[in-house]
A and B are shown apart, each in its own frame.
Chain A
């Protein structure tokens, strides 16, 4: 969905490095989410935010942090990357209830 843009698209880095993944959206949605996707598993929620002043942990938030800089921007940080954080990361937005989430094209992150 071109309305949700993630950068970078690919990143290879080393254990212990700090990494930031960025997400911006032009859909005007208040709700934003970060997920990770691993082979054979469904998307798992890392963090979510329902407006600029609202940040909440998801089911797998350990080792991650987020910042909601504006309605349109939601970034995910790995403070000290470890190999088991190698995954596909997706940002998503949604509007109100009974509306689907809209996803970016993801960041493929490899930690060596």
Chain B
């Protein structure tokens, strides 16, 4: 079911284009950040992470950028594919604490 995804901001992109999903994090003391992908009926799936001593990290077709000055995180997906359609959300953590703070998410729709 799609009940989790109701009322989320939506980003629609053409298949093959690049996608950029943004996240404003809340705590300037956070030092570890994660992007998750959540498909309908499934749990959040880890995509990529970054530590606060970095400002960019690349994976396969994905790049995460971290701007600590403005507390902003972004996820770039290259050559977006239909299988990328999902809800994406960020999480932040202060190392040594139990607390992960999760964003509400952005729905990515890939148009054929």
Q: A: which residues have CB within 8 A of B?
A: 1, 4, 33, 37-43, 45, 48, 50, 56, 58, 88, 90, 92, 97-98, 100-106, 108
Taking the complex as formed, is B59 at the interface, i.e. its CB lies under 8 A from any CB of chain A?
A: no
Within B86-105, the residues touching A (CB, 8 Å) are 89, 91, 95-96, 98-105
Which chain A residue lies CB-closest to B6?
A39
Q: Mark B22-34, 1 if CB is under 8 A from A, else 0.
A: 0000000000101
Cα separation A88 to B43 with both chains bound (whole Å): 10
| Contact between B43 and A104, CB atoms less than 8 A apart | yes
Tell me if B10 is interfacial: C-beta within 8 Å of chain A.
Answer: no
Which A residue sits closest to B97, measured CB to CB? A97
Q: B3, A100: Cβ atoms under 8 Å?
A: no
